[in-house]
Structure 1
Amino acid sequence: MREGSDIGAIGAAVIGTGFIGTVHAQALRRLGVNVVGLLGSSPERGRTAADAIGVAKAYADLDELLRDPAVQVVHVTSPNQFHHQQVKQILAAGRHVVCEKPLTMTSAESAELVELAQAGNLITAVNYNIRFYPLNQHARGMAATGAFGDIRLISGHYMQDWLLHDTDWNWRLEADKGGHLRAVGDIGTHWIDLTSYITGLKVTSVMAELSTFLKTRQQPLGPVETFSKERSTNTKPTEITTDDTALLLLRYENGARGSVVISQVSAGRKNSLQWQIDGSKSSAAWNSETPDHLWIGHRDEPNQILQRDAALMNARGAAAAALPGGHVEGFADSFFALFREIYAAVAAGHAPSEAGYASFADGHYEMLVCDAVLESARQGRWVDIRH
C-alpha cells in the first residue's frame, strides 16, 4: 500500500465467521474497503459465511489468506486462543492487523506482539470499538480540556444477560479457549479501556472479587454462535471455572478512585455499559443502551443532557459522528467510526500522532490489568499493575 493511497483501494480479509466477524465485514463495506475474503474455522464454514454476506473468497487456511496479494489488512475475530499465533503470522507477512479483544490469552503473549508491532512499522489496533461512540469521544475532549477539573471518582458497570442460564453456552466459558478471566477479559476490559481513554488515566492497582454462580453448564456437543438463542438437547454437563461476575475497586495514577461491576448473568441487561466520571468542576455519565445522550452534572448551575449532534459537540465528538442529530448512532456505527480512523492511518502509511483507536500497547495494558485482577481475587488484597 503506497503512502497516501485511497481507502477504497485497500483490501481486507476477516478471520472468523461468527457474529462479530460479520459486524467487521459489514462496517468495512460501509467504509468502502474491499472485503476480499473470509477465513472460517473450517473451509466449509468459511464458504457458507462468505456466500451469506456476498464475499467472493473463502480461504482454506491462514497461509492461503496471506499469500493473497489483494489483502493488506487482516481482521482477527477468532477465539482468543488463536489471537497470538495468528497475529504473529500476519505481522511476519507484513500485513496490518485489527485484532478483537482481549489481544491475547496472557500478558507474556501480548508483550511479544507489542514488540513485533513496533519492529514492523505496521498499523496494529485492538478492537475496543466503544471508544468510538461519538459522545465518548466528546467526553474525551472534555477531559483533555479540563472540563471535569481534577478527576476524583470513576464508577459504573458493564452488564449482560446472554449467559444467564445453565443452558447458555459459548467458547468463552472454557478457560483454554477464552482465558482464565471471562467476564472481565471479554467486557470488563472494554470498560477499563474506555474509561482510561476518556480520562487519560491508567489504573495502577486493583482489588477484585470474582464469582462463578453457574458452576456446571450444559455444553452442546456441536458449535454454537455467540448470542444464539438456540438450545441444544444434545449436551453434556461441564464444570465452569471462569467468572460470571466481578466486583472491582480501582486506584488511578492521579489518586482518583474507581469501582465497576461486571456481569454476564444480569437478567434484562442485553449490553449495558455505564460510566460516570466525577471531577472537582463537573461530572458526566453515559450508558450504551442510550448512546446518543450524555448527562453532564453541575453543582451551581442546571444539569445538562447533550444529545449527540455534531454542531453542538467538541471537535473529537463531531469527528466520530456520521449522522445528523436525532438519527441514533449505535453499535455498528462505532465500528464504522473506528475503522475509518484505522484505515485512514493505513492509507497515510503511518499512525496518527494521537491515535483514538486502541493500540497493541493498550491491549497489553489490559492484559496486565487482568493479571492483577486474577492475583487480587486469589489473594484477597490490593495488587499493583506490573509493567
Structure 2
Amino acid sequence: MEQVTQLRKAAVANVRPRSVVVLGATGSIGQSTAEIIAGSDGAFTVQAVAGGRDGAALARVARRLGAKFAALSEPDGYADLKEGLAGTAIEAAAGPEAVIAAALQPSDIVMGAIAGAAGVAPTFAALAAGRTIALANKECLVCAGPAFMRQAAASGTKLLPVDSEHNAIFQAMGDAEPAAIEMITLTASGGPFRTWTREAIAKATPEQALNHPNWSMGPKVTIDSAGLMNKGLEIIEAHYLFGIEAARLDVLVHAQSVVHGLVAFTDGSVTAGLAAPDMKVPIAHCLSHPNRIVTKARRLDLASLGQLTFERPDFDRFPALRVALDALRTGRGLPTVLNAANEIAVDAFLKRLISFHEIAQMVEEACEAALSDGVAREPDSIAEALAIDGAVRERARAALRRH
C-alpha cells in the first residue's frame, strides 16, 4: 500500500490539477467519478456538479468534491440542495439552464454522464465551448451524432469515450486510421437472460431484468443491457465516434465481461481491450488522458477466471439488437427515433405497463411509423434532433395510452 501511495504522489507532483465538471454527478457513473477524484491525491479540482432531482444527494457530492457550483435540472429539489449546502460557499441553482451553466463553468474536462436525452443539450453546450468531453451518455451520439461530430471537428475538441466498450476500442485502435481497420467488435455480457428461452424472457419481471450479473448500473441502462438494446445503441455510438460504417461493426456475447472490445486490422492482427468489469477503469483513463493515474479499481486476474467464452448474439431471443442495427443501416434519422421510443418503452416496462418483449416491438413500430410519414429525417442540429425526439416521445406515450 505504501508503494501505491508513493506512486500516486509522484504522478501528481509538480502538475497543475486538472479542473473537472461532473454532469450526472448523482448517478452511477457520477458516483464512480467522485471516487476517482476523491482518491486522486489532488490530481483534480471540481468546478461544478449537476444532477437531476435529488438535491440532498447532489449537495453531498458537491461538499465531498469541493465544487464551486451545483445545479439540479428539476427545480423541485432546489430547497434540499440549498439546505444541504448551508454554511458553504458553493453556489446552487436549478432548472435546465442551470445545468447548462454548470456545463459551461471553466474546466479542462467535462464528464458527460447525465442519462438519456436530457444530457444532450448540456453536453453539447460544453463541447461547443471547447471543453474536452468524457462521454458517458451514449444518447448524445445516438440522438444527434452528426451534429456532435461536426461540432467536435469545428471546435478542435476531443470526445473521450467512457463506455467500457468504446474506451477499450479507443485504446486498442491507437493512432490507426479508419481505413486500416477491418472490423470493430463490441462485446455484450448477455445480461441476466443470456441463457433464457424466448418464452421465459417474454415473461420477465422488472426485478429479474434489473439483476445484472456483472455490472452495477442505473435502471434504464440495465434494462437496455438485459435486452441487448444497449449494445445496439453502442454500435450506433461507435459508428459516429470512430467513423466506421455498420458493415465493419460487430457484436459478440462474452459472459465474463473481461474483453470489452476488439479491433481487427487489415493486416490480420487483432488488438483487444481487457479489464475487470469496473467502470472506474475507463473513467480514470478519460479523466487523466493522455496520462495515467493510479487507482483502486479492480484488477484483472485471468488465471482465476480460467477461460473466456464468446458466442454470437441470438436475434430471435433479443430482437432489440436487430431493431437497433436496422436503424443504423437505414439511417435517415432513425437512430434518433429509436432512442426516443426506447426511453419511453423502458420506462413503461419498469412501470409494468408492457412486457419485456414489447419494448423492442414498441420501438420497431415507432421506427416504421416515422419512416412512413417523414418524421424520420437526418437532424441537422441539436435543436432538430431534440424536436424529433420530442415528437416521437409524444407518439409513444399516445401508443401506450391506447395499449
TM-score range (shorter-chain normalised) is: 0.3 to 0.5
Bigger relative contact order, structure 1 or 2, given CA contacts below 8 A and separation 6+? 1
More helix by share: 2
TM-score (norm 1): 0.46
TM-score (norm 2): 0.44
